[in-house]
Chain A
């Protein structure tokens, strides 16, 4: 029991010990200062040359967004067709079929957007080729897209007034060469030497000890699992994701995967402070995010360790906690920790099945994704937080009756409008999406789809509603985990979540980058006695209050209908 809690503490400390120096390193890399990985420069120059890119060419915020959106569009089109025709392409030893158009639409958007919601199962739905050239490729590039977009935002606040924000391709390529690729290789090695497969052999067959014939899906998984976590992607090689013994063989790999998914989101916050030469602001943001994480983590651990009250009534022993959907080698404590980590940052990989979590755990998982900026995803976590920050600046400005300003730039109507729209976007997508799905479930249950609406819930009652709410929330947050009992491979879910992921990914990148670009170009106002100081504890608390109030107002009714209602019915 205590060893399980020690495991959580050790994992979190290890994360900080790696993430903080990494933040300092990243700030230097993106500022173009000297770092020890500069020996990779020739490789980068080669990449620029072959791609016809001049990394010295400065872009303004609009050009940055154009470049970012263009390359993402290229991946969307390319991936869509490769997935449809995967059965006719090589490297398909298990003979898996091509995807339907709606499934391919959903899958490619999901991987381009760093969401990795999977409506297929890795063992039977994709081939070794597509796992590489679509899934794994997009895992690297979507994370690098998020990081590069965040660096553009950093750049806007580095100098007093600047419209020239560096080169998008340079930030993008450096994210891969200086961070993602080398670290992924290291993680892949740890996984491989703990038992994750790396070879290209097809399915295996053996006769078990008791005499049953068993087929085993395998494949070169280790390399993909590494970037899946490092890049906060979360899409599993196998259907059961990191609960699968080959995807997450033991407690060591579990720790490595947990640490890997958290280091970049934390490092980017630290890097932000250093990059704009306001270290204290970085630490205040880090502090708010960490408090947010613990407020979700502690009740999650408590509700999972308490076990399922319905099983307690049967009289069996739940000495370590609730075990449905969990693996013995991890135990309920670190599984609860994982479920918090994977929902507050946008990984969405799972080492336990969220559909079988206790009802209150479901509330915390959903809230983590709704807030989506307690660290948040690779790069985009900081951007999401920035929106809350602008709202907090605006409200504080109203409270003291001054024109709000942030880091020496006036925040005016245009910026606040953008921030307000982005704030409203998430509740709109989540609530409207869930409402639409619920309506179809109740009114068009007999539609002749791959999974009939009346059959798509795996659980009755309030929990069934939670399955739909979770699916849309996870899509909007670009998280990708699911209450996987939901029968989601049909036209409605594929198209609906595909659309939600797409909008929920790109508008929350475009918004903050635009605000930062607009602010950065404005005249710098020197600090005076009346200036709002964002790097104070008071303002940190103000931002935290904004996060709590906005999310509580938006989502409480939906949470009350789903997991909260289930919790109260189980009490009686």
Chain B
């Protein structure tokens, strides 16, 4: 028994060097050569960081495309979903309020145009994407607030829609931050 204890402690120490020092060091070193140099890829505008490509941010102003509802208010110091069950009455009330808000701000759309992702919270609370349909229903509003041609905004949405992987696998999506940056560019 005593033999096993000593062997266990020594083996633990040796493996700790391998698994907690050598391995992470190699990963961190190699990570330096990735796009964000290991710190996460950032987006800059006029030399200032305005966000991370992968992290969604809050857009509440009517002249920007909105992202999905978030259980953590897009505060990236944490992350969480709403964890609301499908039959929870408070939750259903909340969703129905979100539907009303979208209907109010986006004239001309019908309830059946609203895709589920625009009225439900994401798993992480930091979802950077919305569905293409989620962007399409906002085109009229954006065009009106920015006094732009609807067609131009619609083109922008198409340009910023990322199709399935290799055109074959998975859903398509729109990165809201990139779309809004492109929108700001359009103004000039």
Number of interface residues of B (CB under 8 A): 105
B24 located at the interface, meaning its Cβ lies under 8 Å from any Cβ of chain A in the complex: yes
The proximity string for A residues 251-275 relative to B, scoring 1 for CB distances below 8 Å and 0 otherwise, is 1101100000000000000000000
Known: A246-B54, A328-B117. 13 other contacts (CB 8 A): A3-B171, A70-B4, A70-B5, A121-B79, A173-B11, A192-B31, A198-B34, A243-B79, A243-B81, A316-B116, A334-B170, A356-B86, A462-B87
Give every chain A residue within 8 A of B14 (Cβ-Cβ). 47, 50-51
Chain B residues whose C-beta falls within 8 Å of the C-beta of A240 in the assembled complex:
79-81, 123-126
A133→B123 contact, CB < 8 A: no
Question: Any chain B CB within 8 A of the CB of A442?
Answer: no
Closest chain B residue to A194, Cβ basis = B34
Query: Which residue on chain A has the smallest CB distance to residue B84?
Result: A356
Q: Which residues of B contact A359 (CB under 8 A)?
A: 86-87
A192 near B4 (CB under 8 angstroms)? no
- Find residues 52-94 in chain B having any chain A CB closer than 8 Å to their own CB: 52-61, 64, 68, 74-89, 91-92
Size class of A's contact patch? 35 or more
Q: Mark contacts of B84-123 with chain A using CB atoms, 8 A cut-off: 1 yes-contact digit, 0 otherwise.
A: 1111110110011001000000000001111111011111
Q: Which residues of B contact A324 (CB under 8 A)?
A: 81-82, 84, 86, 91, 116, 120-121
Chain A: minimal CB distance from B161 (Å)? 11
Tell me if A192 and B27 are in contact (CB < 8 A): yes
Bitwise, B125-160 to A at CB < 8 A (1) or not (0) is 111111101100000000000000000000000000
A308 to B84, CA, bound (A): 12
A288 contacts partner chain B, Cβ-Cβ < 8 Å:
no
Known: A7-B169, A197-B40, A352-B123. A222 touches B27 (CB 8 A): yes
Which of A212-220, A512-520, A541-549 has 4 or more CB atoms under 8 Å from chain B? A212-220
Q: List 22 A-B contacts (CB under 8 A).
A: A47-B15, A52-B6, A123-B77, A123-B78, A197-B31, A206-B51, A210-B64, A214-B51, A214-B74, A214-B75, A220-B27, A310-B86, A311-B120, A316-B115, A316-B116, A328-B127, A330-B171, A351-B123, A353-B123, A357-B86, A459-B83, A463-B87
**Residues from 45 to 66 in A contacting B, C-beta threshold 8 Å:** 47, 50-53, 66
Q: A222-B27, A314-B111 known; A331 and B171 CB under 8 Å?
A: yes
**Count, A-B residue pairs, CB within 8 A:** 373
- Say yes or no: is B186 at the interface (Cβ < 8 Å to chain A): no
Interfacial residues of chain A within 179-216, with CB under 8 A of chain B in the complex: 181, 184-185, 188-189, 192-193, 195, 197-201, 203-204, 206-210, 212, 214-216
Decide if B51 touches A3 in the complex (CB within 8 Å): no
| Residues A325 and B82 in contact in the complex (CB < 8 Å), given A3-B164, A320-B131, A334-B170 | yes
Q: Are A325 and B122 in contact (CB under 8 A)?
A: yes
Q: Nearest-CB distance from A192 to chain B (Å)? A: 4
Roughly how many angstroms separate A70 CA and B85 CA in the complex, as a whole number?
A: 42
Q: Is A124 an interface residue, CB under 8 A from the partner?
A: yes
Within the complex, what minimum Cβ distance (angstroms) separates A328 from chain B?
A: 4
Indicate the member of B9, B10, B78 with the most A CB atoms within 10 Å: B78
Docked CA distance A458–B10 (Å): 45
Contacts of A316 in B (CB 8 A): 99, 111-112, 114-116, 119
| Closest beta carbon of chain B to A200's beta carbon, Å | 7
Interface flags, A307-341, vs B, CB<8A=1, else 0: 11011001111111111111111110010000000
Inside 8 A of B88's CB, which chain A residues have their CB? 459-460, 463
Q: Cα distance A47–B122 when bound, in Å?
A: 45
Q: Is the CB of B50 within 8 A of A133?
A: no
Give B28 Cβ to nearest chain A Cβ, in Å. Answer: 5
Chain B positions within 8 Å of A459 at CB level: 83-85, 88, 91
Q: Which residues of B contact A10 (CB under 8 A)?
A: 168-169
Question: Shortest beta-carbon distance, B138 to chain A, in Å?
Answer: 15
Query: Separation in Å of the B75 CB from the closest CB of chain A?
Result: 7
Is the pair A322, B58 in contact by a Cβ cutoff of 8 Å? no
Tell me the nearest residue of chain A to B59, going by C-beta: A210
- Across the interface, which residues of A come within 8 angstroms of B24, CB to CB? 132, 136, 220, 223
Asked if B19 contacts A192 (CB within 8 A), the reply is: no
> By the criterion CB–CB under 8 Å, are B128 and A181 in contact?
no
Residues in B with CB closer than 8 Å to A210 are 57-61, 64
Residues in A16-37 with C-beta less than 8 Å from chain B: none
Tell me which of B57, B121, B124 has the highest count of chain A C-beta atoms within 10 A of its own C-beta.
Answer: B124
A207 touches B48 (CB 8 A): yes
Residues of B within 8 A of A169 (CB): 7, 11
Distance, CA A266 to CA B24, complexed state (A): 27
Question: Are the C-beta atoms of A458 and B78 separated by less than 8 Å?
Answer: no
- Nearest 9 Cβ contacts at the A-B interface: A198-B31, A243-B123, A485-B83, A463-B85, A199-B38, A331-B171, A353-B81, A240-B79, A71-B8
Residues A314 and B95 in contact in the complex (CB < 8 Å), given A7-B170, A215-B77, A325-B122: yes
Asked if residues B19 and A251 are in contact (CB atoms below 8 Å), the reply is no
Q: Using Cβ atoms and an 8 Å threshold, which residues of chain A touch B113?
A: 317
**Given the complex of chains A and B, what is the CA–CA distance between A222 and B26 in angstroms?**
11
A83 on interface, CB distance cutoff 8 Å? no
A564 interface contact, C-beta 8 A: no
Measured CA separation A193–B32 after assembly (Å)? 10
User: Which of A3, A212, A216, A466 sits near B77, CB closer than 8 Å?
Assistant: A216
A200 to B14, alpha carbons, bound, how many Å? 23
Q: Which of A229-254 contact B (CB under 8 A)?
A: 238-240, 243-246, 249-252, 254
B47 adjacent to chain A (CB < 8 Å): no
Give bound CA distance, A370 to B134, whole Å.
38
- Which residues of chain A are near B129, meaning CB under 8 Å? 327-329
How far apart are the CA atoms of A311 and B69 in the complex, in Å? 15
Once the chains are docked, how many angstroms separate the CA of A569 from the CA of B56? 35
Q: In the assembly, what is the distance between CA of A293 and CA of B15, in Å?
A: 35
Q: Complex: how many Å from CA A217 to CA B79?
A: 9
A169-B11, A317-B116 known; A328 vs B131 contact (CB < 8 Å): yes
CB distance from A456 to the nearest CB of B (A): 12
| A429: min CB distance to chain B, Å | 24
A461, chain B: closest CB distance, angstroms:
7
A356 near B83: Cβ-Cβ < 8 Å: yes
Q: Which residues of A contact B74 (CB under 8 A)?
A: 214
- Are A355 and B84 touching (Cβ within 8 A)? yes
Q: Quick one: which of B5, B8, B96, B129 has the most chain A CB within 10 A?
A: B8
A102 at the interface (CB under 8 A from B): no
* A4 adjacent to chain B (CB < 8 Å): yes
B116 contacts A218, C-beta separation under 8 Å: no
Assembly CA distance A195 to B80 (angstroms): 20
